[in-house]
Amino acid sequence: MPQLDELYREVVLDHYRHPRGHEPVESPNFCSEGFNPTCGDQVRLAVALDEGRIDELEVRCQGCSISVASGSMMAELLRGRTEAEVLELAVQFKSMMHGKPIAPEVELGDLEALQGVAKFPVRIKCALLAWTTLQEALERLRAEREKGAAGPMAV
Ligand code: ZN
């Protein structure tokens, strides 16, 4: 489907040229950085949460078009989502990038334009960089909370 490929390419290039999520987050709950040594892509995230939802999300990627576009799409897709929704979307996006079908009820928005990347194994890490970085940060946050909750009980 050359026409579809062309459309997808346009979507990816648009995010690459005009990345979303560049507005600085004034008082983030957490920041995180990620690096993809295979390609040299770097990402920096700042996240402000409000009652378990992503209130503000700053995503700054430096690297190839796929990593930048994926981070930009992530910034657009995740605002207002709960942590559980974010982790679920990350799982779905990852399985899409490994060539598996996405559950029909899942809306990945512009990320679907990255579907073709699944055919290029070396680029999959580029597409996943921002997501993996966010996912790991959320998991660390969760672990810290659990430790915090267990702390007083242990005393
Ligand atoms: Zn890359």
Work out the percent of the chain whose per-residue pLDDT is above 90.
79
- Span from the CA of 104 to the centroid of ligand 1 (angstroms): 28
The mean pLDDT value for 6-19 works out to 93
Taking the model in full, what pTM does it have?
0.91
- Span from the CA of 37 to the centroid of ligand 1 (angstroms): 9
For 31, list phi and psi in degrees, rounded to 5: -125, 155
Task: Flag whether pLDDT at 1 surpasses 80.
Answer: no
Per-residue pLDDT reduced to its tens digit, 52-95:
999 999 999 999 999 999 999 999 999 999 999 999 999 999 99
- Span from the CA of 150 to the centroid of ligand 1 (angstroms): 40
Alpha helices for the chain (secondary structure H): 2-17, 65-78, 83-97, 121-154
- Span from the CA of 142 to the centroid of ligand 1 (angstroms): 29
Per-residue pLDDT reduced to its tens digit, 126-144:
999 999 999 999 999 999 9
Structure tokens at 87: 């982790």
pLDDT at 6: 83
